[in-house]
Every structure is written in structure tokens, then in C-alpha cells.
């Protein structure tokens, strides 16, 4: 994938593709999808916006009318939007979606998480094929702290007394957070700092300044590599698999829609997610739609 090159050439191509989609044969795939436009939602962060634009762009490339409704908010808000029909399709993450519908779930392996998820979804909702690409929680330390304490895995942190950890507020109570660290790895007396930015700039500043020793940061966040952080291995699977997966209203599905979205999932890797995020956060500041369009073109999906 070469997202950093050729983004400027997409403007004319996007216009042509849009006109072609509007002129599609009404007896073709558009007819199968029905007359309604599929509304693709996103949460309020860059990766979710890009994935929503990828889904919408892939559908439109096959003459299925689609539009996006971005930055809906937290999971509670956008699940409600999918359930009430104001949104038809949403890029989700398998482990977090499972925890939302079943807080007691213990599955961590990718296939197990998907199977468990299918069992607890409400009847009006479905998930399609998951992508191999994941964006999951990860515990990170500075390279200096890792070297000083001989750290390579979460297990190595247990020996550190007075450990200071930063993460989203929910990390304190969710099964994969502090309770899981205590249950699975045997941590005790961890000092927790709540920072509500999803592993963003405030969390990074707390970590690099030494205010905390370790931080929960999503694994495809560009700042991990940009700041030479060390992501600690998770040998006991504290963090469940978080494969990207299309969440869709059951009555919005057709064989054509399913096929298009499954083709997207088949090609979306973790490396792709990281590069998409790096491009989106780069100096050029391209829109989520442009970043998505370039990925679709590179992968023969538009």
C-alpha cells in the first residue's frame, strides 16, 4: 500500500466514480440493495472515520448507494443509532463489541470472540466477515523505562512496586483492564490515572514525562512508533482480539452488500490500519474520504 503518494490524483477519479455510480443500471446491484441509501456511521476518531469511508466507497463502487454519518460518539450512542435505523452499517471491533453486549465474556482468541459475539447480538443486528486487521488495547512504556527494568512483556511489570498506569476511565473496571491485570497476571496495588483521550496526546504526555510508567494505547496509534515506545507482549491474552468487523442492521443486508464488505475485510490488515492512521495524521492532513479512496484504489476495490 502506498497511501502517502498520489492522494492529489484522487479528486478527479473520485468525481468520475461518483458520476458512474449515479448512472448505474437500476436493474443491477443497486436494485438488489433496494432504493434506500445505506448510511455508514463512525465513532469520533480518525480510524473509525476512515473505515466508514472505506465501507461507503466500496459500496458506491459497486453501484450501491451509500453515504456516511461520521463522529456519532461513544458506543452507547452509535449502537442506538444502528438499532433505531438512523444508521445501517458501522465499522466495529470484535472484542469491544462482545464486551458491550456481554460484559462477562471471557473469549480472547479471534475466532472464539467472533463466535461468542454472534451468540449475543440482538436479532436486528448482524456482523459480517471480520478483517485480519486488529486495533486493540496495548500496554506501552518508554524505551528508557523498558531498558532500565528489562521489560518485554506485561508479565515483567509485575515485579515493579508502585506501578503507575494511565488509561481511559473504563480501563479501571472492565474485564480487560485492571481487574484482568490482577486476575490474569497477579498485579497488586497499581496506581491508576484516568485520561479520557483514548491513548491520545494527554496520555502520551503523561507517559513520556514520567508522570506514569505505563499507558494503555490502541495498537495502531502512530505515536507508538513516532515516540519509540515499547509495546509489551501479552502472553496470557489479557486483551481480547479486536478484529475490525462490519456491524450491520439485518434488514440492510443483501448478498451484494455482504459480498462487497467481505471483500474489504479480506484485504484489511493491521499494517494497513497503522498506515491509514499515519497518513491521516500526516503533514498533508488529507480527509478520511481521500485516505479511504486511495486504499480502495490500491486494493482493486474502486
pLDDT tens figures, 238-254: 999 999 999 999 999 99
pLDDT at 170: 86
Rounded Cα distance between 252 and 58, Å, is 16
What pairs with residue 230 in β-bridges?
141
DSSP class per residue in 4-26: TSSGGGHHHHHHHHHHHHHT--T
Rounded Cα distance between 113 and 147, Å, is 34
- Long-range interactions of 114-119: CB distance < 8 A, separation 24+: 114/243, 114/245, 117/245
pLDDT band at 33 (very low <50, low <70, confident <90, very high): very low
Burial (Cβ within 10 Å: 0-12, 13-18, ≥19) of residue 8: exposed
Pick from 203, 202, 212, 205: which is nearest to 163 by CA?
A: 212
Please tell me the CATH superfamily of domain 7-134+241-298, with its number: Periplasmic binding protein-like II (3.40.190.10)
**Is 212 within 8 Å of 166 (Cβ atoms)?**
yes
Average pLDDT over residues 128-145: 98
The pTM of the full predicted model, rounded to 2 decimals, is 0.81
pLDDT band at 190 (very low <50, low <70, confident <90, very high): very high
pLDDT band at 74 (very low <50, low <70, confident <90, very high): confident
More confident residue, 11 or 138: 138
**How far apart, in Å, are the Cα atoms of 26 and each of 30, 36, 40, 148, 302?**
6, 13, 21, 65, 19
**Is 88 within 8 Å of 38 (Cβ atoms)?**
yes
Average pLDDT over residues 107-112: 94
pLDDT at 174: 85
More confident residue, 147 or 16: 147
pLDDT band at 282 (very low <50, low <70, confident <90, very high): confident
**Is 98 within 8 Å of 75 (Cβ atoms)?**
no
C-alpha cell at 30: 443497486
Average model confidence (pLDDT) for the chain? 89
**How far apart, in Å, are the Cα atoms of 58 and each of 21, 69, 246, 286?**
11, 16, 13, 19
pLDDT at 181: 97
DSSP label at residue 134: B
pLDDT at 26: 36
Report domain extents, the chain.
7-134+241-298, 137-231
The length of the chain in residues reads 302
**Is 77 within 8 Å of 84 (Cβ atoms)?**
no
Average pLDDT over residues 258-284: 96
Q: Do the strands 89-93 and 125-127 form a parallel or antiparallel pair, or are they unpaired?
A: unpaired
Rounded Cα distance between 284 and 281, Å, is 8
Helix or strand run (H / E) with residue 54: helix 46-61
**How far apart, in Å, are the Cα atoms of 101 and each of 51, 105, 260?**
22, 9, 26
pLDDT at 4: 47
CATH 3.40.720.10 fits 137-231, yes or no: no
End-to-end Cα separation, the chain, in angstroms:
14
Question: Given a cut of 70, is residue 165 above it in pLDDT?
Answer: yes
pLDDT at 1: 52
Amino acid at each position: 500500500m502506498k497511501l502517502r503518494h498520489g492522494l492529489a490524483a484522487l479528486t478527479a477519479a473520485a468525481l468520475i466514480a461518483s458520476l458512474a455510480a449515479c448512472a448505474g443500471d437500476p436493474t443491477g446491484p443497486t436494485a438488489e440493495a433496494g432504493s434506500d441509501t445505506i448510511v455508514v456511521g463512525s465513532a469520533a476518531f480518525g480510524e473509525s472515520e476512515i473505515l466508514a469511508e472505506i465501507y461507503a466507497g466500496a459500496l458506491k463502487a459497486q453501484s450501491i448507494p451509500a453515504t456516511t454519518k461520521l463522529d456519532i460518539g461513544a458506543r452507547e450512542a452509535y449502537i442506538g443509532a444502528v438499532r433505531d435505523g438512523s444508521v445501517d452499517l458501522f465499522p466495529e471491533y470484535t472484542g469491544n463489541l462482545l464486551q458491550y453486549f456481554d460484559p462477562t465474556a471471557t473469549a480472547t482468541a479471534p475466532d472464539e470472540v467472533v463466535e461468542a459475539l454472534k451468540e449475543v447480538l440482538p436479532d436486528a443486528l448482524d456482523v459480517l466477515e471480520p478483517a485480519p486487521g486488529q486495533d486493540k488495547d496495548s500496554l506501552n512504556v518508554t524505551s528508557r523505562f523498558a531498558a532500565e527494568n528489562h521489560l518485554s512483556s506485561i508479565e515483567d511489570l509485575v515485579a515493579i512496586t508502585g506501578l503507575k498506569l494511565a488509561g481511559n476511565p473504563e480501563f479501571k473496571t472492565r474485564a480487560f483492564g485492571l481487574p484482568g491485570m490482577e486476575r490474569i497476571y497477579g498485579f497488586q496495588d497499581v496506581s491508576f490515572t484516568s485520561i479520557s483521550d483514548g491513548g491520545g496526546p494527554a496520555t502520551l504526555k503523561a507517559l513520556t514525562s514520567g508522570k506514569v510508567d505505563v499507558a494503555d494505547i490502541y495498537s495502531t496509534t502512530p505515536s507508538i512508533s513516532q515516540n519509540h515506545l515499547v509495546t509489551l507482549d501479552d502472553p496470557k491474552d489479557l486483551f481480547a482480539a479486536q478484529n475490525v468487523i462490519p456491524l450491520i442492521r439485518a434488514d440492510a443486508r443483501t448478498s451484494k452488500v455482504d459480498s462487497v464488505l467481505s471483500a474489504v475485510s479480506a484485504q484489511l490488515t493491521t499494517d494497513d490500519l497503522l498506515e491509514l492512521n499515519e497518513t491521516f495524521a500526516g503533514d498533508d492532513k488529507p480527509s478520511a474520504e481521500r485516505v479511504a479512496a486511495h486504499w480502495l484504489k490500491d486494493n482493486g476495490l474502486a
